[in-house]
Amino acid sequence: MKIALTGATGQLGRLVVSYLTEKTASENIVALVRSAAKAGDLGVEVREADYEQPETLVTTLIGVDTLLLISGNEIGKRAAQHKNVIEAAKQTGVTWIVYTSLLHADTSTISLAGEHLATEALLAESGIPYTLLRNGWYTENYTGSVAGAVAGGAYLGSAGDGKISSAARKDFAEAAAVVLTTEGHQGKTYELAGDQAYTLTELAAEISKQTGKDIPYKNLPEGEYAAILASFGIPEGFTHAIAGWDVSASKGDLFDDGHQLSSLIGHPTTPLAETVAAALAAL
């Protein structure tokens, strides 16, 4: 059985490939990438494909049985790009698609939810059996700001007291590999989140504990937080998106206590303290 995955050279994709090679022979894995030059170290078959060029997708999906469609990273273009992939899968006889969606996409106020829901609808209409991996936030989305927090003496955000059930990126990658290589997952929707929920105040406290410095969490109005992000050189459109995601977190959109992720991977998700430690070690 050939298992192909899109975005194989991305941060999530690389981890999925690594976990897959532990569960099935490398010759069963096909990495779909835009640039083969960046995929030489994956140790599996590599095929070049471009979301914007449907004809390349049809060619690269020939002989593929199962497809992991990792959501694209071009916000605003993803629904159309995913449609091209799904159409190509229909033409080439792919028998199962696993898609990385968003936690509680059908109720979430997070701005990313719309494109994920559109893709879920396309899958439902495709006639191909599918599985939804509704991924919560990666803990790295927040620990990526550890360096700035340490340098500036405070962790900034707009999430208020919202609880965030994030997990390390590797936990989500392992779950994808488990689903792709075991039976009984077709037709299911998994709401995937970390076992340990925390607020940004608690995240700041963990950073303080590990650094021995007083680094409090400073909650800011959405517009003010976006403006500060812009002052760091982040593009304006993206600053408002980031601040808006925090506001959604304050409403509980990143919280889930169903423990479906740890159930799938067969062990607890990575503790917040471990991911913070990794971020600090990288400074």
Q: What is the pLDDT of residue 52?
A: 87
**Can you tell me the mean pLDDT for 170-190?**
98
Paired sense of beta strands 96-102 and 3-5, if any: unpaired
**Can you tell me the mean pLDDT for 109-125?**
98
- The letter for the amino acid at 237 is G
Collect all residues with Cβ–Cβ distance below 8 Å to 108 and sequence separation of at least 6: 102, 248, 253
Q: What is the pLDDT of residue 202?
A: 98
Are the C-beta atoms of residues 93 and 1 closer than 8 Å to each other?
no
pLDDT band at 172 (very low <50, low <70, confident <90, very high): very high
Q: Write out the two tokens for 216.
A: 């409090």
Percent of the chain at pLDDT > 70 equals 100
Using the 8-state DSSP alphabet, how is residue 234 labeled?
A: -
pLDDT band at 237 (very low <50, low <70, confident <90, very high): confident
7-27 residue pLDDT tens: 999 999 999 999 999 999 999
Q: Write out the two tokens for 247.
A: 């506001």
Q: Quote the mean pLDDT of the chain.
A: 96
Using the 8-state DSSP alphabet, how is residue 164 labeled?
A: B
Other Cβ atoms closer than 10 A to 221: 11
Paired sense of beta strands 3-5 and 29-33, if any: parallel
Handedness of CA 144, 264, 40, 7 (dihedral sign): negative
Other Cβ atoms closer than 10 A to 178: 16
- The letter for the amino acid at 107 is T
Are the C-beta atoms of residues 244 and 111 closer than 8 Å to each other?
yes
pTM of the entire predicted model = 0.97
Residue 77 has pLDDT above 90, yes or no: yes
Alpha carbons within 13 A on the beta-carbon side of 204: 20
CA 52 – CA 213 distance, rounded (Å): 48
**Can you tell me the mean pLDDT for 119-145?**
98
pLDDT band at 56 (very low <50, low <70, confident <90, very high): confident
